[in-house]
């Protein structure tokens, strides 16, 4: 009985490490189409939200959720990887707008570098905690989900009201919320709660993306230097 339990634990541990390794590899790969999409968007002066913010937001959400639904439907095949990379290219296009705004500041390059560095520091710190801690963070799930819903409601409300202070508050909460999601999602892999590396990559990618965007927004607001 003890031998069987030990062998089962070893197999489970091996599976979890394989999922985590594949997740990190695919996550690194997903950054390439994101950068390409951002570059293409900047060359095209892409401005998805320029005309009607609420319509643009709904279209964006429709496309994004369409991609995510398709990725989850095909998460056990190579098509899932292709769809994920297509999605990250699309998200890169969406990223180009805030990068264009940031580069309008005289220290725009530094702001982008600081946001990227800060996001990297948050990710690696929380990934290390998730990988080394004996604690199971799965009980955070319900609180994070409620926080996500409230955040989404606040985002939609601010599309109509356009209150700068609320916008900054939303960004600060988003950085904290998606940072917590990084810890939660990586810990789920470690604990065996997530066994598909495509699904895991999608979740962690969205966390990193949202931390970066909102951190950049805060940096532009507080340290941006216009000519």
Q: Would you say residue 146 has pLDDT above 80?
A: yes
End-to-end CA distance of the chain: 72
Q: Give the pLDDT of residue 49.
A: 60
Question: Do 30 and 198 form a contact (C-beta atoms < 8 A)?
Answer: no
> Can you tell me the distance from the alpha carbon of 200 to that of 84, in angstroms, rounded to the nearest whole number?
11
Cα dihedral: 199, 119, 184, 11 (round 10): 60
Angle, helix 2-43 to helix 78-102, in steps of 10 degrees? 50
**What tens digit of pLDDT does each residue of 73-111 get?**
999 999 999 999 999 999 999 999 999 999 999 998 999
Q: Give the pLDDT of residue 179.
A: 96
Task: Supply 108's token pair.
Answer: 């725009």
Put simply, whether the predicted model's pTM sits higher than 0.85 gets the answer yes
How many domains are there within the chain? 1
Comparing C-alpha atoms, which of 132, 140, 201, 202 is closest to residue 176? 140
3-state secondary structure of 215: helix
Domain interval for residue 121:
2-223
3-state secondary structure of 46: coil
Question: Do 197 and 26 form a contact (C-beta atoms < 8 A)?
Answer: yes
Q: Give the pLDDT of residue 206.
A: 97
**What tens digit of pLDDT does each residue of 188-217 get?**
998 888 899 999 999 999 999 999 999 999
Q: Give the pLDDT of residue 161.
A: 83
Q: Would you say residue 1 has pLDDT above 70?
A: no
Highest averaged pLDDT of the listed ranges 106-110, 133-137, 175-179: 175-179
Average pLDDT, the chain: 89
> Can you tell me the distance from the alpha carbon of 15 to that of 181, in angstroms, rounded to the nearest whole number?
22
């Amino acid at each position: 009985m003890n031998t069987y339990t030990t062998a089962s634990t070893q197999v489970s541990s091996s599976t979890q490490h394989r999922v985590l390794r594949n997740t990190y590899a695919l996550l690194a790969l997903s950054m390439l189409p994101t950068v390409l999409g951002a570059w293409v968007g900047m060359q095209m002066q892409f401005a998805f939200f320029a005309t009607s913010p609420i319509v643009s937001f709904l279209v964006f959400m429709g496309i994004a959720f369409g991609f995510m639904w398709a990725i989850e439907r095909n998460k056990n095949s190579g098509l899932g990887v292709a769809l994920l990379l297509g999605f990250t290219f699309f998200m890169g296009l969406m990223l180009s707008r805030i990068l264009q705004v940031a580069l309008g500041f005289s220290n725009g390059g530094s702001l982008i570098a600081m946001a990227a560095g800060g996001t990297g520091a948050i990710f690696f710190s929380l990934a290390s905690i998730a990988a080394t801690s004996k604690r199971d963070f799965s009980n955070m799930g319900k609180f994070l989900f409620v926080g996500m819903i409230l955040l989404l409601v606040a985002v939609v409300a601010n599309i109509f009201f356009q209150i700068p202070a609320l916008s900054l508050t939303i960004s600060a909460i988003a950085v904290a919320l998606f940072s917590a999601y990084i810890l939660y999602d990586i810990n789920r892999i470690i604990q065996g709660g997530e066994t598909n590396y495509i699904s895991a990559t999608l979740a962690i990618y969205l966390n990193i993306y949202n931390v970066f965007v909102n951190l950049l927004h805060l940096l532009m607001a507080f340290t941006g230097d216009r000519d």
